[in-house]
Structure 1
Amino acid sequence: MTAYEINQAHAIREEEALRALFEPTHDLAVRKCLPALGPHAREFIRRSPFVCIGTQDGKGRADVSPRGDPAGFVQVLDARTLAIPDRPGNNRLDTLANILANPSVGLLFMIPGFDDTLRINGRATLTRDPALLDTMAVDNRRPKLAIIIDIAEVFFHCAKAFRRAGLWNPAHHQPRSDMPSLVKMILDDIGEPPVAEGEQRVKDAELEEDYRRTMY
């Protein structure tokens, strides 16, 4: 594949040039941004089993990480504060290390079947407070830490992106078998030589066992 190069004559470098391409936003889109959680935002978080966390490291390199648990796993501590348990992962610690370098974060909450989403921006802190972590235990396994979010902005996001994608529409679902397993894709991408089908099944089963053993 030939490397893509941006035509600099068409690149947008200034906000003034950007905004000239669009109509002014309507008043409600401006006023909907609030500094604290209202009752509907609280209920949305209570129902949500999934949130994406956007972070940046000290050099401005961006990352987005998915977090999922039973609905309501993100705790509302007060109108300006959330707590997110950190469950076992791959120990890359991208999100957590980024928070230490740059505490600004963006959250996107989703609810299966809802085309609307909830966006929250704020600043994050990591805590090992045992009293808080005790309330986040699942199957008697307590997380090692929690992410505390000091809320700066809260607003609901419209349904256009999800409706264009048909994300929850079963007619748009694709068979997982259309692509290789996660293990095979990673091994292919890092240049590992192909393995026999039986050995590949063993590797895939090992990943599933790891999921079972370390989910919490």
Structure 2
Amino acid sequence: MTVFDLNPEYLIRDEAALRGLFPPTHELAKKKCLTTLDRHARDFIERSPFVCLGTQNADGKADVSPRGDPPGFVKVLDDQTLVLPDRPGNNRLDSLVNIVTNPSVGLLFIIPGFDDTLRVNGQATLVVDPDLLKAMSVKGRSPTVAIHVRVTSVFMHCAKAFRRSHLWDPKRFQDRSDMPSLMKIITDQAAETPASDEELTALDEKLEESYRKTLY
């Protein structure tokens, strides 16, 4: 595949050049950024069943991980502290390893049907406090680890991205069967030889069984 080369003439190399392309920031946009979780932020977090967790490793390599649970799964402990359970996954531990080496995290809270979102940035620590973990149990199963975040900034994000994408409009929903199954994609990407139809059916069934048994 041909590699696309950027023309250096059109690269932005500093903040001054970047800001020169845009009008000044509205004063309200500057003032909306808080350092604590006010009542509106708390309410938003309590309603949210889904958050994207952004992390970086020690070298600055970035990663974003989806996190989901019943609304309120992210617990607000005080005006500057929240905690997320780490539920069972594939044990790559990308986000957790990143946090160990670089505590800076970004969170994007999403509520189904809401076009606006909540952004929270802070410093994260991994904790195994048994009382804290037990408080986040689901179906009698506690998370192995929790992500403790000391909030440094919090602000609401406008609805433009969700309006442009029509994310919640059922008329814009796409048929999942238009693409191969997750296991077909993964085996195409990772297996040395293509999987047979019978093997793919077995893998798809095994994945669904895993969803039923190991969500928590």
Question: Which TM bucket (shorter chain)?
Answer: over 0.9
* Greater than 6 Å deviation, 4+ residue runs: none
What RMSD in Å do the two structures reach over aligned CA positions? 0.8
Q: How does 1:194-209 map to 2 (within 5 A)?
A: 194-209=194-209
Residue 66 (structure 1) aligns with: 66
Give secondary structure in 1 for the equivalent of 2:52: strand
How far apart are 1:133 and its partner, in Å? 0.6
Q: How does 1:38-117 map to 2 (within 5 A)?
A: 38-117=38-117
Residue 121 (structure 1) aligns with: 121
Give ranges in structure 1 of 5+ residues lacking alignment: none
Residue 149 (structure 1) aligns with: 149
1:6 maps to 2:27: no
Judge conservation of contact 2:36–2:152 (CA < 8 Å) in 1: yes
Mapped partners of 1:185, 1:39: distance in 2 = 43
Mapped partners of 2:83, 2:46: distance in 1 = 12
Residue 30 (structure 1) aligns with: 30
Judge conservation of contact 2:52–2:67 (CA < 8 Å) in 1: yes
Mapped partners of 1:84, 1:45: distance in 2 = 11
Mapped partners of 2:95, 2:213: distance in 1 = 23
The answer to which of 164-173 and 188-197 deviates more is 188-197
Residue 190 (structure 1) aligns with: 190
How far apart are 1:207 and its partner, in Å? 0.8
Give ranges in structure 2 of 5+ residues lacking alignment: none
Give secondary structure in 2 for the equivalent of 1:189: helix
Mapped partners of 1:212, 1:73: distance in 2 = 19
Letter in 2 for 1:127: V
1:139 maps to 2:145: no
Letter in 2 for 1:195: A
Letter in 2 for 1:121: N
Mapped partners of 1:197, 1:104: distance in 2 = 44
How far apart are 1:102 and its partner, in Å? 0.4
Judge conservation of contact 2:187–2:195 (CA < 8 Å) in 1: no
TM-score, structure 1 as length reference: 0.98
Letter in 1 for 2:56: Q
Letter in 2 for 1:38: D
Mapped partners of 1:114, 1:20: distance in 2 = 32
Mapped partners of 1:97, 1:194: distance in 2 = 32
Identity, in percent, stands at 61
Mapped partners of 1:95, 1:48: distance in 2 = 20
Cα deviation code 1:60-106 (max 9, x no counterpart): 10000010000000000001000100000110001001001000000
Number of residue pairs aligned between Structure 1 and Structure 2: 216
How far apart are 1:190 and its partner, in Å? 2.2
Cα deviation code 1:149-198 (max 9, x no counterpart): 10000000000000000001111100000000001101111253223322
Mapped partners of 1:118, 1:56: distance in 2 = 20
